[in-house]
Amino acid sequence: MSWKLFSLLLQASGMTILVSAFAIVAGLIIAIALSALRLSGNRLALGFVAVFVSFFRGVPLLVQLLLLFNLLPALGISLSSLSTALIGLTLCTAAYQTENLRGGFAAVPPGLIESADMLGFTPVQSFLRIKVPIALRLTFPTLISEAILILKASSLVSVVGVIELTKMASNLAASTFMPVELYAAAGLIYLAINQVVTLIGRFAEGRLPGTGVPAR
Amino acid sequence: MKFDIGVILASGHEILSGLALTVLIWIAGSALGLGLGFIVATLRRYGGPLVNLGLAIPVEILRGTPFLVQIFLLYFGGPFIGLSLDPIPAGLLGLTVYGAAYYSEIFRAGYQSVPEGHVEAADCLGFGRIQTIRHVLLPEMALIVLPPAVNMTVILLKETALLSLITVPELTLTVQAIGSQKYAFLESLFVLALVYWALVEIAGQLGRLAEGYFSRYRTART
Amino acid sequence: MRTKLLTGLTAAALFIGAGFAAHAQDALARAQGAGVLKVGTETAFAPFDFIDGGDHVGFNVDLFDEIGKELGVSIEWVTLDWAGVLPGLEAGHFDMVAGPATITKERMERYRFTTPIAESTVAILKGAKDDTITKPEDIAGKAVGAGHASSQLAQLQTFSESLPTPADVREYTSNNEAYADLAAGRIVGVANSFPNIAYVAQQRPEVFAVVEPPFGEPTYFGFPGLKDADHATLMDAIDGAMLKMKADGRMGTLQKKWFGVTFNTPDAVTDPKV
């Protein structure tokens, strides 16, 4: 395969990295917000979170993206292909991350929260300053595996018109009649990105402070 | 904009045939993947370091690349290397191999969860390797293996939607085709989302029933 | 926290709400106001739209460049699979479709078409070394592919049913995949419009050949847009630009460049054969 083709794949993988990175970060923020709703104990909030998580984990991402792409304009919201892809990936990973965080929040020792209460922390403060950091620290490895899952899932955003690594490979495969080389090269690039994410994850995990919470 | 889901539901028998193919490919792919995954994990445990490494590489490649790229490579690239499969066999093969990579890791963790002492005890009792696997390892790791295996099986159900992109006439392709024939695009996507959602919920419930069944003799750990 | 959350939500609503652009102006005024005309297409339809060495090129790209000059706008392309293009138009993701699409009765009820840009009569593409197919009827009982949700597929199905043994008709998400499957030997033919398959056969004469004559009714390609009042002036303006290009010879030059021939098309199709 020529360098020209490979460099086109590399350029397109920039889009793959961009949408995945955005989705992971935005998805984490939404997941924390949903976890707060869940911890609030309000029945309505619990129901909303349960339906949200069940829907976005229960429907194939391909269908979610197409639905979003066709539904939002029908509701009078017009968004570009890229925005639709970002929102679709974000909502999907938010559902998974909410589930991942559940165990982390459950493992926060009640004693810590009681101490915070006595020190005069408001519920919001103890959520943001104590529960969230501990839950994040405890579930950090699942965040890294989720990042890799989303990188792979981003191969679907071309159905709403975003040209990323997989779509570029399939475009080039059509014009060059070299599908084996192009899909194999795309696969290698995904593997390389995943390796980098895994290494960053390991490095970061080694650097993160402990939580004082005994392993379960 | 008018919204009439009846337009799609009027083609009920076509939807059912797509649904049937989705369920069929899913069950066949998961069952074959589960079997292949078990064989891979067992070979990695007993086959020595070379076999272990030789199998670890394809497993990591399959787990590190998108399923979409794998089925495109298999379906569109296959004929260039002498493997020309029709959409349904290609889809089934793709799903099986992809699932097997994940299942093999689940079984590998299962094998590791069984204390060495139990295997040694079986040895002392004169159990052969197959007997040990059958009567000691498999029953002991069932509880460890089942939850992630159920989870993976549900994921495979959703992955079958991607087979529409290599023209397997499963649920997604069928309902989308009805949607474009009748210009009822949004309705077709709603039907798809609801059917998959229901399928995944049902599959999850069945999985939980299975977990309950296998843990019925389990006493609490002290 | 609560106020912060509210501010955040409001900001998010505003961000999304930016899409609720005022609909006081019509589509043409909005496009000219923004200086951008959004056009949806697929990129698996050589020589109209395809990817060559990573770049989106083809007859449509050149033609819309000229239309853009006439209207004083630049063209922004939105590329989807063909099955997503007409839904994307109706959902409002772009102002019109470059497709192009065969002008059919059914589609005319739903969309407004521009003046025709080329003939689109359906023919069969076969393997260059395949001697068993010399006329369209020879596909009887064999596997033949066509693009999902295309008029060529519908015509292939009708033609197949008229044969003593119907063909095994397969649907593809894009024509490129059907061509690839033909090259791979999974199918013996691909039904697509004559200009498309003539181009493909000319690019790869060692792999593909065209089965003459075309089997379908004479049809034409046009660009579909929406029929509503909002898009009326836009479609009028595009039609005007295209007819002007047809009169001054630019259309013919582009046809010659991409198809190797010029087509004798009517100025408007009012009563399509299919």
Q: Does residue B87 carry a pLDDT above 60?
A: yes
A1-19: b or e for each residue (b if 16 or more CB lie within 10 Å)? eeeebbebbeebbebbbbb
List, edge to edge, every strand of the sheet that includes C111-113: C74-79, C36-41, C96-97, C224-226, C111-113
Could you tell me if C41 and C82 lie in one domain? Answer: yes
The residue of chain B nearest to residue C182, with distances taken between CA atoms, is: B79
Sorting pLDDT into bands at 50, 70 and 90, what band is B142?
Answer: confident
Q: How many angstroms separate the CA atoms of C117 and C180, rounded?
A: 27
pTM for the structure as a whole: 0.87
Asked if C185's CB is within 8 angstroms of B185's CB, the reply is no
Q: How many angstroms separate the CA atoms of C156 and C151, rounded?
A: 9
CA atoms in the 13 A half-sphere facing the CB of A31 = 30
Count of domains for chain C: 2
Q: How many CB pairs under 8 A join A and C?
A: 73
List, edge to edge, every strand of the sheet that includes C220-222: C101-102, C220-222, C118-119
Burial (0-12, 13-18, 19+ Cβ within 10 Å), C187: buried
Nearest Cα residue to A9 out of A178, A143, A133: A178
C2-17: b or e for each residue (b if 16 or more CB lie within 10 Å)? eeeeeeeeeeeeeebe
Q: For the ranges A44-53, A154-163, B212-221, C42-51, which has the lowest average pLDDT? A: B212-221
- Chain A residues with CB-CB distance to B3 below 8 A: 74
- Report the CATH number that the domain containing residue C63 is assigned in CATH: 3.40.190.10
The conformation of residue C55, written as its DSSP 8-state character, comes to E
Helix, strand, coil % (nearest 5) of chain C? 45, 20, 35
Q: How many angstroms separate the CA atoms of A58 and C100, rounded?
A: 36
User: Where does residue A138 fall: left (phi above 0), alpha (psi -120 to 50 degrees), or beta otherwise?
Assistant: alpha
Residue C8 lies in a domain: no
Single-letter code of the amino acid located at C274: V
The residue of chain C nearest to residue B165, with distances taken between CA atoms, is: C173
- Report the CATH number that the domain containing residue A103 is assigned in CATH: 1.10.3720.10
Number of other residues whose CB lies within 10 A of the CB of residue C141: 13
Q: Does residue A135 carry a pLDDT above 70?
A: yes
Kindly list the domain boundaries of chain B, sorted by start residue. Answer: 6-214
Give the pLDDT mean for A16-30. Answer: 97
Q: Which of C91, C149, C184 faces B79 most closely, judged by CB atoms?
A: C184
Q: Where are the alpha helices (DSSP H) in chain C?
A: 2-17, 27-34, 59-71, 82-91, 105-110, 151-162, 175-184, 194-203, 232-248, 250-259
Q: Which ipTM was obtained for this model?
A: 0.90
Single-letter code of the amino acid located at B51: V
Q: How many angstroms separate the CA atoms of A4 and A13, rounded?
A: 14
Q: Which of C148, C170, C177 faces B76 most closely, judged by CB atoms?
A: C177
Residue C5 lies in a domain: no
Q: How far apart are the CA of A131 and the nearest CA of chain B, in angstroms?
A: 27
Residue C272 lies in a domain: no
Residue A213 lies in a domain: no
Could you tell me if C129 and C168 lie in one domain? Answer: yes
The residue of chain A nearest to residue B76, with distances taken between CA atoms, is: A179
Span B6-214 CATH architecture: Orthogonal Bundle (1.10)
Question: End-to-end CA distance of chain C, in Å?
Answer: 63
Could you tell me if C110 and C134 lie in one domain? Answer: no
Cβ atoms of C196 and C46 within 8 Å: the answer is: yes
Q: Identify the domain containing residue C185 by its residue range.
A: 122-211
Residue A79 lies in a domain: yes
Residue A216 lies in a domain: no
Q: How many CB pairs under 8 A join A and B?
A: 104
- Report percent pLDDT > 90 for chain A: 78
Angle between helices C194-203 and C250-259 (to 10 degrees): 50
Sorting pLDDT into bands at 50, 70 and 90, what band is B175?
Answer: very high
Residue C51 lies in a domain: yes
pLDDT (0 to 100) of residue C20? 46
Q: Which residues are paired to C226 by β-bridges?
A: C111
The conformation of residue C164, written as its DSSP 8-state character, comes to S
Q: Which long-range contacts (CB under 8 A, 24 or more apart) does B136-141 make?
A: B137/B110, B137/B111, B140/B113, B140/B114, B141/B107, B141/B110, B141/B111, B141/B113, B141/B114
Non-local CB neighbours of C15 within 8 Å, separated by 6+ positions: none
User: pLDDT, tens digit, for every residue of A147-189?
Assistant: 999 999 999 999 999 999 999 999 898 888 888 999 999 999 9
Examine the fold and report which residue of C182, C211, C240 is the final residue of a domain before the chain moves on. C211
Q: How many angstroms separate the CA atoms of B28 and B145, rounded?
A: 19
* DSSP SS3 for C127: strand
Count of domains for chain A: 1
Angle between helices B138-159 and B185-214 (to 10 degrees): 180
Q: Which of C78, C92, C176 faces A174 most closely, judged by CB atoms?
A: C176
Q: Identify the domain containing residue A132 by its residue range.
A: 3-207
The sign of the CA dihedral B175, B176, B181, B186 is positive
pLDDT (0 to 100) of residue B4? 84
Could you tell me if C143 and C75 lie in one domain? Answer: no
Question: How many residues in chain B?
Answer: 222
Residue C143 lies in a domain: yes
pLDDT (0 to 100) of residue C247? 94
C51 vs A19, which has greater pLDDT? A19
* DSSP SS3 for C102: strand
Could you tell me if C56 and C141 lie in one domain? Answer: no
Tens digits of pLDDT across chain C (274 residues): 445 555 555 555 444 444 444 456 899 999 999 999 999 999 888 899 998 888 899 999 999 999 999 999 999 999 998 888 998 998 889 999 998 999 999 899 999 999 999 999 999 999 999 999 999 999 999 999 999 888 899 999 999 999 999 999 998 888 888 998 898 888 999 999 999 999 999 989 999 999 989 998 899 999 999 999 999 999 999 999 999 999 999 999 999 999 988 998 999 988 888 8
Residue C9 lies in a domain: no
Q: Which of B1, B72, B196 faces A60 most closely, judged by CB atoms?
A: B196
Strands (E), B63-120: none
Q: Encoding tokens for residue A26?
A: 């935005």
Cβ atoms of A142 and A151 within 8 Å: the answer is: no
pLDDT (0 to 100) of residue C54? 81
Asked if C51's CB is within 8 angstroms of A175's CB, the reply is yes
Q: Does residue A216 carry a pLDDT above 60?
A: no
- Chain B residues with CB-CB distance to C181 below 8 A: 79
Q: How far apart are the CA of A202 and the nearest CA of chain C, in angstroms?
A: 33
pLDDT (0 to 100) of residue C1? 45
